[in-house]
Amino acid sequence: MGDVVSAVALVAAGFGVCLVPASATVIHIPNVVYKRLDDLPEAARVDLSCIYLADSASPILKLFLESLRSFIM
């Protein structure tokens, strides 16, 4: 969350815009406006990739991938 807080602080200081997860909207800083991106037209969307070690035995990775697959399929 530290990188997100830094990014929001930079936006508050006037250094541009950033994309943050919905959970970051609890960071209340004056003059920072959060806009949901749910209703963007298809042309404004981007593909994201998930990169991980194929032979990883991490139970956290397994749960993450299961969640991700249920979301996108």
Report pTM: 0.52
The total number of structural domains that make up the chain: 1
Range of the domain at 65: 2-72
Token code pair at residue 63: 């749960």
- pLDDT of res. 2: 65
17 or 47, higher pLDDT: 17
Residue 22, CB half-sphere, CA atoms under 13 Å: how many? 3
Token code pair at residue 39: 């209703």
Closest CA relative to residue 5, chosen from 31, 36, 46, 21: 21
> What are 48-71's pLDDT values in tens digits?
777 889 899 999 988 888 888 886
> What are 4-44's pLDDT values in tens digits?
889 899 999 998 888 888 888 998 998 899 988 777 777 77
For the chain, helix (H) and strand (E) counts, in that order, are: 2, 0
